[in-house]
Structure formats: C-alpha cells, structure tokens
C-alpha cells in the first residue's frame, strides 16, 4: 500500500525559502502523478503543484507560479516542493498526494483534490513576519 514520509515544514520568516519533500513507498513511483496541496486555516484544500513522475510535466496554481517549483528524484522515490519568497498566505499544512497515471489519462487539469487517492499526513509551514 502507498505510504508517504513528508518533511521540510517549519517556522520560516517571510521572504525566505523552504523545501518540502515526500518520500514514497509501496508503489512504483514513476507510474504515478504526484501533487502538492495545501490547506490554510479556515480555507479549503487547494492544489499548488503537480508533476508527472514519468515524463516530468508540471502544472502550478496560478497564484504560486514563479515562487513554487516541483521536482522529483525517481531513484529516491521522492518529490520536492521548493518555495521561494514565502508569504504570509503560504502558511498552511502542505500535503503530498499520488494518483496512478493510468487514471489521469483523460485529464488535462491536475490540481483537483478528487483525482488523488493517496495522501500524506501533512507538514506544517508557518510563515512569520
């Protein structure tokens, strides 16, 4: 079964950078799509970044383009989210999620929560002033 280990969250000053990671086990990593979602206090969970682990294609939430970068290391079964220029609104619990690529074959927009059936436990990112 799919299992995630998430790390990298913490308390960071606004304007600084942070890298989050998820390391996966229990599935063939490069046959899955991976996405990062976040949920801020009082808000719905939203997708921020997506990567196809097979071909490397990515997709980002418009509001984070230019600051967030998703990347992967298939050999390590790990996906990363690099966040630059942290802002107060980035404060949230960040989750990685996985979906089998074969289940996304007819999809063109990949940042919808319902597409993902395997979720990590979340890691807290808190941006301080």
pLDDT (tens digit, 9 = 90+) per residue, 55-101?
A: 889 999 999 999 999 999 988 989 999 999 999 999 999 999 999 88
**In the numeric block, which tokens belong to residue 89?**
């609104």
**With the CA atoms of 3, 80, 48 and 119 taken in that order, what torsion angle do they form, in degrees rounded to the nearest 10?**
0
Percent of the chain at pLDDT exceeding 70: 100
Mean of the per-residue pLDDT values of the chain: 92
Share of residues in the chain with pLDDT > 90 (%): 71
Whole-angstrom distance, CA of residue 12 vs CA of residue 87: 10
């Amino acid at each position: 079964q799919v299992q995630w280990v998430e790390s990298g969250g913490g308390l960071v000053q606004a304007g600084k950078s942070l890298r989050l990671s998820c390391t996966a086990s229990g599935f063939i990593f490069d046959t899955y799509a991976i996405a990062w979602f976040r949920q801020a206090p009082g808000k719905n969970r939203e997708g921020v970044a997506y990567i196809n682990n097979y071909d490397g294609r990515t997709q980002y939430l418009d509001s984070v383009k230019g600051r967030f970068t998703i990347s992967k290391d298939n050999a390590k079964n790990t996906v990363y989210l690099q966040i630059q220029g942290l802002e107060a609104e980035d404060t949230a619990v960040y989750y990685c999620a996985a979906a089998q690529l074969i289940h996304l074959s007819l999809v063109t927009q990949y940042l919808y929560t319902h597409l993902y059936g395997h979720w990590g436990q979340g890691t807290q990112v808190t941006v301080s002033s």
